[in-house]
Chains A and B, each alone.
Chain A
């Protein structure tokens, strides 16, 4: 299945692109996606944290992804 990744802040610097379309196995979880992410971009693990949001909501690691989900990579926020 296809999911779209969005990268922001330093996560975008690390991936080099704002948008990425990824193919994942059916029933992949947020945790599965995180494992692939860290494998492909090892510098992600140097960050204080990277939260993942699915369709604009913070997601837990066990959430199962669905076709065409939008997954945002959220490094430590620093608004205000």
Chain B
């Protein structure tokens, strides 16, 4: 029902869709988080992601499990990148299948919103004149 992946290799969107596809579903919701080329108007060269891997995988599993329990959805694929990402690369891919679309949208949003709050993964933005760990300071 759930596929979790934390990887240093490029994410495969079609693999996520393939995992959640099933004959009983009426829709698949797909979220792809990508690397933006600027923060507050300042050009970003690339991002570097690091993770506390065993805990990140465990937290991603918990989120997907909670989403299945809370919403009427069938299958969830939750994949996240680590390492160096270039502009436009996918950092996270979430696919959710459900009999009806509202549950798929709700579960997908729950997964990305909760991931951003609890999963121990950190990104550093690299600018021309320095680098910053995102959200570290008040």
Query: Chain A: residues with CB nearer than 8 A to chain B?
Result: 6, 8-10, 13, 46-48, 53, 56-58, 72, 74-80
Contact = CB atoms under 8 A, between A and B. Distances in A.
A78 B52 contact: no
A39 to B, nearest CB: 20
A46 B137 CA distance: 7
A80 B116 contact: yes
Given A78-B121, A79-B123, A6 B135 contact: no
B136 A56 contact: no
B138 A80 contact: no
B92 interface: yes
Contacts of B121: 77-80
A-B pairs with the 4 shortest C-beta distances?
A79-B121, A9-B122, A78-B134, A56-B55
A80 B136 contact: no
B55 A72 contact: yes
Contact of B92 (A6, A47, A76, A80): A80
Interface residues of B, number: 29
Contacts of B123: 78-79
B83 interface: no
Nearest to B133: A10
Nearest to A46: B137
A80 B47 CA distance: 12
B77 to A, nearest CB: 15
28 contacts: A6-B52, A8-B51, A9-B133, A47-B136, A48-B137, A48-B138, A53-B55, A56-B55, A56-B58, A72-B52, A75-B133, A75-B136, A77-B116, A77-B119, A77-B122, A78-B116, A78-B134, A78-B136, A79-B49, A79-B56, A79-B92, A79-B116, A79-B119, A79-B120, A79-B123, A80-B80, A80-B91, A80-B121
